[in-house]
A = this chain, B = another copy of it.
């Protein structure tokens, strides 16, 4: 078996934050507990943002404290500021995920901060977490393009990666927030990042807005990326990024990687059973393909007339 790939689930944060209806706390906990037993490497449980900003995740503490943690799974949370980090640390998270944009306009629209301002704040957050042993990840939104500004220069992305590592960020997630990346762009950025900073832990985070989600994941994989964010059922989006739509779908990604003979550590059938609960839980259909089509090893019975002819 090949080297293990790491599949990181973001549905209960990136997905649930934009659901039209609040998902009941006990349903969130039940879903996360199911996910914990599927072999996922990491689960982004919730976001310690202001309940006013993201009312759907106003139960962050209760969810974090109610889930049953499974050894080998990292539980991470999105943290927008020092206060959020303090709340997260009080819940003994394994990781905090800081978020900033690569582009000024998306940063201002989404976080009311330019990248430079985000970096100042990150330093304060990292000070607060020092000594806690918590892993520091930073998600770099619009790393492959900004819906307001368009192209984001590669050099800007590399500069921000260096600045993040300079302030002791350990993991960096390269986010294609609104599905603007293409496989050539992904290949270029990921190859360069892995080559320049072999000590850093990179994750690729794609949205399937323009149908290229799994093609981009393939390009990242071929470039050497081992960690992938994905969202159960293909839920997701960004409340402050127009045109954003669902993340790449976890079960579709795992299905593709497993068909390729790669080791994801994930029990795909368990993952599919969990994903199958989403339409009822959320009251709407979800974009994932495998839930609808079945796995590629699904067999159909021969047409009736063929067996009848032989009778």
A residues adjacent to B (C-beta < 8 A): 105, 108-109, 145, 147-150, 179-185, 208-215, 217-219, 222, 240, 242-243, 245, 249, 252, 255-256, 259-261, 288-290, 293-303, 306
Residues of B within 8 A of A108 (CB): 306
Residue of B nearest to A242 (CB): B300
In Å, the complex CA distance between A288 and B208 comes to 12
Contact call B109/A148, Cβ cutoff below 8 A: no
Knowing A256-B183, A259-B185, the reply to whether A293 touches B209 (Cβ < 8 A) is yes
Residues of B within 8 A of A109 (CB): 302-303, 306
Residues of B within 8 A of A182 (CB): 256, 259-260, 296
Contact call B148/A260, Cβ cutoff below 8 A: no
Residue of B nearest to A245 (CB): B293
Residues of B within 8 A of A217 (CB): 215
Contact call A211/B290, Cβ cutoff below 8 A: yes
Residues of B within 8 A of A296 (CB): 145, 179-182, 210
In Å, the complex CA distance between A209 and B214 comes to 13
Distance (whole angstroms) from the CB of A215 to the closest CB of chain B: 4
Beyond A180-B296, A184-B259, A209-B293, 18 additional pairs, beta carbon < 8 A: A105-B302, A148-B299, A148-B302, A179-B296, A182-B260, A185-B260, A208-B211, A209-B289, A210-B289, A210-B296, A211-B289, A212-B256, A214-B214, A218-B218, A240-B303, A242-B300, A243-B298, A243-B300
Distance (whole angstroms) from the CB of A269 to the closest CB of chain B: 15
Which residue in B148, B212, B295 is a CB contact (below 8 Å) of A300? B148
Which residue in B245, B260, B293, B298 is a CB contact (below 8 Å) of A184? B260
In Å, the complex CA distance between A148 and B259 comes to 18
Contact call A211/B256, Cβ cutoff below 8 A: yes
In Å, the complex CA distance between A252 and B182 comes to 11
In Å, the complex CA distance between A293 and B243 comes to 6
Distance (whole angstroms) from the CB of A50 to the closest CB of chain B: 17
Residues of B within 8 A of A208 (CB): 211, 289
